[in-house]
Chains A and B, each alone.
Chain A
């Protein structure tokens, strides 16, 4: 009964919670995003972004996010300065 009330106020059924958690966990397991891989993914993203803007490379975060119908790779990074179009684009080679 108590559970029914809690659910009425928005608590999800545990089966559904389990399913959501498993979606994320299995995605991580399958991608096998080891700290090494994560690190090189971050560096690659940073290299690409810094062709267009000056960024604070200490702030970058890369996470997997589970939506209802999708799994997203979400990266957040703080921009320090955007270059004016066509001006001052630094020649940083793309990785690989």
Chain B
């Protein structure tokens, strides 16, 4: 057991290589309940690798991740059994992928996509599953009439909002996002960012958001982690880091000199 203000998730010394290439090296961090952390850095700096390790999608060569379960028990995530891990992934966690096809079943209706997690945890009443799906579609501003349409018929922005609804239906405490606004038009991005911001606020979500867009980090995150060559080179409160970067590399990033 741990104190209430202990971090929700703690990573220690995470390292991952792909052959000779470094994915990420010796990364340690903590995420508190309700805290939004942005991971920024150039392409290839190790952001997605870190996200994969934190979310147990990848296995580290070294290091570990501890997580405070809903029960209050702190667990080493890489020691969880596969069934337990899957249960955690689909109840207490969420994932929003840049490519919606990784997060949605494109041939299943919006209602079926949102209902999947509920059915996986044992819901067996069609009417209640559907009502809950409608409820969440409405909250992500997708019209109820679209409940039986497949995401293949949705715009890019709608697909991202549907991914969020699909995740939120089990009321996760932690959500991982990899470039959630990537590839969207500016106006569509703005609407999605508003939605994410209100969700993390309203539901007290903790989030790890990988982005190459510092404006996204500024808008959404409390804290920022700057990565380079697989290492964390600077971390701090978002406004501080972006307004007054210490590292020369971060200064270049902020000055938009680097192509991120």
A binds B: no
B residues sitting closer than 8 Å to A (CB atoms) are none
A residues sitting closer than 8 Å to B (CB atoms) are none
